[in-house]
A and B are shown apart, each in its own frame.
Chain A
Amino acid sequence: MPSKRFDQAKPFAALGIVVLAWLLLPVVVKSFLRVSFFEMQAPIQAAASYVRDLQEYWTERAHSKNELIQAGNELRHVYAGYEFQVQQADALRAEIARLEELLRLPSNPDFRFEPARVARRDLSGWWQQLVIRKGANFGIPVGAPVVYSGGVVGRVREVHAYTAVVDLITSPSVRLAATIEDDSRPVSYQGGLNPPLAPARGLVEFVPPDIFASATTPKRLVTSSLGGVFPAGLTIGSVTRLEASTDGLFKSGEVSLDPRLSELTEVTVLVPLHPD
């Protein structure tokens, strides 16, 4: 009877050797493999996203002309309101620049707005991430903040050739410097409460003990400039529960997040104009 090869006779020992070889494999080889396998699958995700866009287009085409005219009229009113706000924002920016020059203050970071379609949502109990359809081809850097009309979406974690991966603020790995609205003291926000069949929530810590919030009297949680990533004042969510933490010095609680975070189809990446 022919003798068996080592891997046939002792498959688990062979597995142990394979594991050891994998652990000793150079990082550059692992990085190359990871990038290769990601880019191999990127066209599938992008193609599926384009097919969805096409579906939406033909659905819109099915609307009657009257419905489209009505939608256009509604958008015209919204657009007029935004035009006025843009004029106000331009005037405020000019005033800020004048005051910064007068008082010799450092400027806040400026951003380029890069809208991107969401190619794939990957929201599980382990992680919460989006894949967007823009990457290095549009100059998106790692760590760039991502926002939408309702506030903060998350942060760019990986950038590939024409896609990028965004960690949502519902992800347990995302921690942000924040403030309670109308209060300048910093607090800490972290994602991670993702119940089944319900909107996600976040956690807030290091809240000063004189701040009160409940489900009936929520307090808006916004980004703080202390984090150095997000512009100050962007909405994260609403603090709906606060209770004294174990050390008694601060409060901690829960943040109710916008349900739209789990059904985003388009986001905006804030690309710093003057990266440090």
Chain B
Amino acid sequence: MHRRWLIPFATMLLLWSLVMQLNHYLAPHGAYLFIGGLLVTFGALRLGLRNGLAASLLTGLAIDAVEPVPFGTHLLLFAVMHLVIFRIRTRFPREEPIFGVVVALLANLALFLGLSFVTLGDHPAAGAAWLRIFADLGWSQLFIALTAPWFFALQERALGLGRVDLAEENRHPF
């Protein structure tokens, strides 16, 4: 039973760790990648509410622990985004990778802007900061567009190896 949220959480943590290493190498070049939208999308579209939300919340806590934001910021942002996607998912072809990529891009944009409004309150040069932020957003969206299909396939395969039936998750969405 724990596999249903543990496996997605493990894959999210894996991708987050890889992107952190990528950001380490991008730092001298003044670029940064944020992939919050990609992390929550698969769980919100394909898993039941409990398992998908549990994985998203745990990933939010893991990110909050290493970033200098009030503890719980990513937790709440991911929870809201997860629920929004979960509510509207029945109206769209959620198993299509293209649709997943579009949702990931829109979710990332919303999370990016939400996080920016939370963190830029006391910035001494907020106008200049938005230039950097929009540049980072561009790189992040490009990265998501290129890697989302791979990540969705990875999560699906990981769940298959863990003998989690996605069809059953869809039959019992809650």
Contact = CB atoms under 8 A, between A and B. Distances in A.
Interface stretch (A89-97, A192-200, A241-249): A192-200
B76 A123 contact: no
B124 A22 contact: no
A122 B23 contact: yes
B5 to A, nearest CB: 16
Given A18-B79, A22-B76, A37-B61, A125 B32 contact: yes
A225 interface: no
A263 interface: yes
B136 A129 contact: no
A217 B59 CA distance: 49
Contacts of A195: 30, 128, 131-132
B70 to A, nearest CB: 10
B29 interface: yes
A122 B20 contact: yes
Interface stretch (B35-43, B80-88, B98-106): B80-88
A125 B112 CA distance: 11
B133 A125 contact: yes
A194 B28 contact: no
A198 B129 CA distance: 13
B152 interface: no
Interface stretch (A38-46, A59-67, A137-145, A266-274): A38-46
Interface in B119-172: 119-120, 122-125, 128-133, 135-136
A33 interface: yes
Given A11-B83, A172-B123, A41 B174 contact: no
Given A33-B71, A124-B34, A38 B66 contact: yes
Contacts of B28: 259, 262-263
Given A37-B64, A40-B62, A125 B72 contact: no
Q: Is the interface of A mostly helix, strand, loop or mixed?
A: mixed
A231 B30 CA distance: 29
A11 B122 contact: no
Nearest to B135: A196
B124 A121 contact: no
Contacts of A38: 65-66
B83 A15 contact: yes
A143 to B, nearest CB: 15
Nearest to A8: B174
Interface string B93-123: 0000000000000000000000110011011
B18 to A, nearest CB: 10
Contact of B132 (A120, A131, A190, A194): A194
Contacts of A193: 125, 128
A77 interface: no
Given A22-B75, A38-B65, A127-B67, A196 B30 contact: yes
B65 A11 contact: no
Interface centre among B29, B65, B76 (most CB of A within 10 A): B65
Interface string A165-196: 10100001100000000000000001011111
A259 B64 CA distance: 28
A127 B174 CA distance: 37
A200 B79 CA distance: 34
Contact of A196 (B17, B119, B136): B136
5 contacts: A19-B79, A125-B135, A126-B115, A195-B132, A259-B28
* 9 nearest CB pairs, A to B: A196-B135, A37-B65, A125-B132, A124-B32, A121-B27, A263-B28, A125-B133, A38-B65, A123-B27
Given A30-B72, A34-B65, 10 more contacts: A15-B79, A22-B72, A41-B62, A125-B136, A195-B128, A196-B31, A197-B29, A197-B135, A262-B28, A263-B28
